[in-house]
Structure 1
Amino acid sequence: MRRVRERLDGYNGMEVDSMGRSGGLAFMWRRDIQCQFMSASVHHMDFSVKEENREWRVTGFYGWPAASDRHLSWDLLRLLHTKSDLPWLCIGDFNEILYSTEMKGGSRPQWQMNNFHAVVDECGLRDVLWEGYQFTFDNGQSGEANRQCVLDRAMGTSAWFEMFPYAKLFHLVVAKLA
Structure 2
Amino acid sequence: MESILEEDYEEDWEEVSSKDKSPRLDSSSTSRVLDGFVKRVWPEAENVAFHSNGIFMEAIDVVPIWIEILWSPIKITGNALKKIANLVGTPLRCDSNTQLKTFLGYARIMVEVTVGEELPDVVEFQDELGNPHRQIVHYEWKPTICTECKAMGHLGRDCRKKQKVQPRNARCGYLRRVRRHAINKVHSGLGMNWSMLNNIDDHEGGRIWIVWDPMNYKVELVSSHAQVMHSRVTFLPTGVKWWLSVVYGFNRVAERAPLWDSLNLMAAVVSGPWLVMGDFNNVLAMDERIGSEITVAELKGFQECVATCGLMDAPAQGAFFTWNNKHDAGDMVFSRIDRVLINDEWLAQFSEADITFHPEGLYDHCPCTITLWPTCAKRKGSFKFFNMWGKDANFTQLLKISGRLG
Provide TM-score, normalisation by structure 1. Answer: 0.86
Aligned to 2:250: 64
1:33 and 2:204 are equivalent in the alignment:
no
Residue type of the alignment partner of 1:50: T
Aligned to 1:124: 310
1:14 and 2:200 are equivalent in the alignment:
no
The aligned runs of 1:77-96 (5 Å cut-off) are 77-96=263-282
Residue type of the alignment partner of 1:92: G
Cα distance, 1:70 vs. partner? 2.8
Corresponding residue to 2:231 among 38, 47, 69 = 47
Calculate the aligned-residue CA RMSD, in Å.
2.4
Aligned to 1:172: 358
Residue type of the alignment partner of 1:121: A
Cα distance, 1:86 vs. partner? 3.2
Distance 1:4 1:156, change over 3 A: farther
Q: Distance in 1 between matches of 2:304 and 2:225?
A: 23
Aligned to 1:99: 285
Cα distance, 1:84 vs. partner? 2.7
- Structure 1 runs not aligned, ≥5 long: none
Cα distance, 1:131 vs. partner? 2.0
Aligned residues: 176
Distance 1:4 1:162, change over 3 A: farther
State whether residues 128 and 167 of structure 1, in contact with CA within 8 Å, keep that contact through their aligned partners in structure 2.
no
Cα distance, 1:68 vs. partner? 2.6
Q: Distance in 1 between matches of 2:326 and 2:252?
A: 19
CA shift digits 1:34-87 (9 cap, x unpaired): 111111122111111122132211010122210232322211221222233232
State whether residues 125 and 157 of structure 1, in contact with CA within 8 Å, keep that contact through their aligned partners in structure 2.
yes
Residue type of the alignment partner of 2:210: F
Residue type of the alignment partner of 1:74: W
Corresponding residue to 1:24 among 199, 203, 207 = 207
Residue type of the alignment partner of 1:126: M
Distance 1:175 1:145, change over 3 A: same
Cα distance, 1:140 vs. partner? 2.0
Aligned-partner SS, 2:287: helix
Q: Distance in 2 between matches of 1:175 and 1:112?
A: 28
For the pair shown, which has the larger CA radius of gyration, 1 or 2? 2
Aligned to 2:330: 144
Aligned to 2:366: none
Residue type of the alignment partner of 1:97: V
Aligned-partner SS, 2:223: strand
Aligned-partner SS, 1:169: strand
Cα distance, 1:9 vs. partner? 3.0
Moved more, 167-176 or 58-67: 167-176
Aligned-partner SS, 2:330: helix
Cα distance, 1:128 vs. partner? 1.4
Corresponding residue to 1:156 among 297, 319, 342 = 342
- Structure 2 runs not aligned, ≥5 long: 1-174, 176-182, 364-406
Cα distance, 1:20 vs. partner? 7.6
State whether residues 228 and 259 of structure 2, in contact with CA within 8 Å, keep that contact through their aligned partners in structure 1.
no
Q: Distance in 2 between matches of 1:19 and 1:56?
A: 26
Cα distance, 1:94 vs. partner? 1.0
Q: Distance in 2 between matches of 1:64 and 1:158?
A: 27
